[in-house]
């Protein structure tokens, strides 16, 4: 029984949510930040569009609330939506105070763009690489703070409940795998925060980095936390279609600034699906593109912004222009080939407005949480807003309790006395590939009960195989991610089978209509 590291607050994840919380508590607490790779990796840096907040005199809280509720298709918590929206201007000001370089107009005010589902221009941004600028800003502040210890190339294995890890009582920390040293250590803390991002890598095609493997959701579930609404997986309508591009997102702001979706023959098609056209919510646009690709038997559709002036395109979308040019596409002259890809996990670990989970001293914030903000479909640019707002509220709650919490006791050591080094690593890669293809083919944009049943059967078999492998061999990063992916895949399929209707991001041919009553899908650990 020993603790390798002890902190007041242990934060698992180094994205916008985790680093915001770290900075918010660091003046009064020692903080450990766990990052699977480098601190500047993760989904936050990949966010292009911006952060939605009411910052214009022509906009209003009521309008932002209404837009969010409409996008959420009846499943948002109105109280949580209003809380988040009203905290938006304060969150933006805090970021500005940290040095966030948002774009400004020539006459001084910040430039606001508009994205799908928004009735006003309210998305504040840093060109077309807001996430990258945000991450750089927070990284610099975190690295400079004397009370924050950043541990890169470290990966959480499981949460620890009780000194003997009995699975009962408060969360006292986590087992953390040091990737470079290839060993598992015991990290103890008064408060533990999951800020691990989403699980879009359960799908074969995703706009997310490789680390988006649902780690926090899976660990929380194993620790006894409820999860909610995991059937709502957002597929971003427009990812660059090119054999070498893999995961490059074409921001929604391109459509917000007049980009048009075209069939291969140049015909616009979105008005046939929704009167809002290209500015319809993401689920509508993604389904429309998926339908047209399958109807025509083509590989992709096209997003065209070339009718705008070259100067405008170069100013607002410099990174997209540069990346497309790398692949031989000049967006000032021609349309961009695009396809949908898994993008955002709208459900997650059930929390309240302070980030509390069902386990004492365990918090969850950001994409891995289910706060009630997004409902059945997240509206564009509400995700980074959620990260900042709920990281702040969780930090405030932690600070009110920290002095009353006792130092963590000595915790049980990690036991690997009964495992050996694997001589069958190929099993991990094969299972990883089979799992993601299964989820893409059977639990994608359009679903049926038959497809979901096939997915459940395959996921059950994979789960048994992976658990047996995990029990016999020493852990590796790939094995840990695969274990988490199969857990979250199982939760997604189970959630999808429970919903006998089409709503938001969950569209099934067997139940094409929306039920009269909107209900959350909540799964409870046995």
Tell me, rounded to whole angstroms, the distance of Cα 193 from its chain centroid: 16
Tell me the DSSP string of 358-397: SSTTEEE-GGGEE-SSSTTSPPTTHHHHHHHHHHHHHHHH
Helix H or strand E encompassing 8 = strand 5-12
DSSP state of 443: S
- Catalytic status, residue 282: yes
**Distances 428 to 277, 417, 431, 466, 513 between C-alpha atoms, Å:** 43, 22, 5, 8, 39
**Distances 480 to 45, 223, 466 between C-alpha atoms, Å:** 23, 16, 10
Contacts of 177 (CB under 8 A, 6+ apart): 154, 155, 156, 157, 183, 184, 185, 475, 477, 480
Q: Is 315 exposed, middle or buried (0-12, 13-18, 19+ CB in 10 A)?
A: middle
DSSP state of 486: H
Residue 264, Cβ neighbours under 10 Å: how many?
Answer: 14
* Rounded Cα gap, residues 505 and 48, in angstroms: 21
Closest-CA residue to 49 (of 138, 141, 111, 139): 111
Look up tokens 């959620």; give the residue.
386
Helix H or strand E encompassing 254 = helix 253-256
Percent of residues in the chain assigned helix, strand, coil, to nearest 5: 40, 20, 45
Query: Rg of the chain's alpha carbons, rounded to an integer?
Result: 22
∠ CA(243), CA(270), CA(496), 5° rounding? 70
* Rounded Cα gap, residues 233 and 344, in angstroms: 6
SS3 string, 203-226, reads CCCECCCCCCCCHHHHHHHHHCCC
Contact 17, 135 (CB under 8 A): no
Residue tagged active-site, from 114, 282, 447, 499: 282
Contact 285, 116 (CB under 8 A): yes
* Rounded Cα gap, residues 133 and 125, in angstroms: 9
SS3 4: coil
The H-assigned helical ranges of 443-524 are 449-472, 477-498
Positions marked active-site: 282
């Amino acid at each position: 029984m020993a603790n390798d590291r002890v902190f007041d607050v242990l934060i698992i994840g180094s994205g916008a949510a985790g680093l915001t919380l770290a900075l918010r508590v660091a003046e009064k607490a020692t903080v450990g930040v766990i990052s699977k790779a480098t601190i500047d990796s993760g989904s936050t840096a990949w966010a292009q569009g911006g952060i939605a907040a009411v910052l214009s005199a022509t906009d209003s809280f009521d309008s932002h609330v209404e837009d969010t509720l409409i996008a959420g298709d009846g499943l948002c918590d109105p109280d949580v939506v209003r809380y988040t929206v009203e905290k938006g201007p304060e969150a933006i000001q805090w970021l500005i105070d940290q040095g966030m370089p948002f774009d400004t107009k020539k006459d001084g005010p910040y430039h606001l763009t508009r994205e799908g589902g928004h009735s006003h221009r309210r998305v504040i941004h840093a060109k077309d690489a807001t996430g990258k600028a945000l991450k750089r800003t927070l990284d610099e502040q975190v690295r400079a703070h004397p009370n924050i210890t950043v541990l890169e190339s470290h990966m959480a294995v499981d949460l620890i409940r009780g000194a003997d890890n009995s699975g009962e009582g408060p969360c006292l920390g986590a087992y953390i795998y040091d990737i470079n040293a290839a060993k598992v250590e015991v990290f103890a803390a008064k408060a533990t925060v999951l800020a691990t991002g989403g699980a879009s890598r359960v799908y074969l095609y995703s706009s997310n980095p490789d680390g988006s493997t649902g780690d926090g959701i899976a660990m929380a579930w194993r620790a006894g936390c409820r999860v909610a609404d995991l059937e709502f997986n957002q597929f971003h309508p427009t990812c660059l279609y090119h054999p070498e591009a893999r995961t490059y997102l074409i921001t929604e702001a391109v459509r917000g600034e007049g980009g048009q979706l075209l069939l291969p023959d140049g015909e616009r098609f979105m008005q046939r699906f929704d009167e809002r056209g290209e500015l319809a919510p993401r689920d509508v646009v993604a389904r429309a593109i998926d339908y047209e690709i399958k109807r025509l038997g083509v590989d992709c559709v096209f997003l065209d912004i070339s009718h705008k002036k070259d100067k405008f395109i170069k100013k607002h979308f410099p990174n997209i222009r540069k990346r497309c040019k790398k692949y031989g596409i000049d967006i000032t002259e021609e349309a961009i080939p695009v396809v949908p890809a898994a993008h955002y996990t709208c459900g997650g670990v059930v929390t309240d407005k302070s980030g509390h989970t069902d386990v004492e001293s365990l918090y969850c914030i950001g994409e891995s949480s289910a706060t009630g903000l997004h409902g059945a479909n997240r509206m564009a640019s509400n995700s980074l807003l959620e990260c900042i707002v709920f990281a702040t509220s969780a930090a405030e709650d932690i600070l009110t309790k920290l002095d009353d919490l006792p130092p963590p006791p000595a915790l049980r050591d990690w036991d690997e006395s009964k495992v050996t080094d694997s001589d069958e690593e190929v099993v991990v890669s094969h299972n990883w590939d089979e799992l993601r293809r299964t989820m893409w083919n059977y639990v994608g944009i359009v679903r049926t009960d038959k497809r979901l049943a096939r997915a459940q059967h395959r996921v059950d078999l994979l789960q048994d195989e992976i658990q047996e492998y995990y029990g016999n061999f020493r852990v590796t990063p790939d094995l840990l991610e695969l274990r988490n992916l199969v857990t979250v895949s199982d939760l997604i399929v189970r959630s999808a089978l429970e919903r006998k209707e089409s709503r938001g991001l969950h569209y099934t041919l067997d139940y094409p209509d929306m039920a009269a009553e909107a209900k959350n899908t909540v799964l409870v650990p046995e």
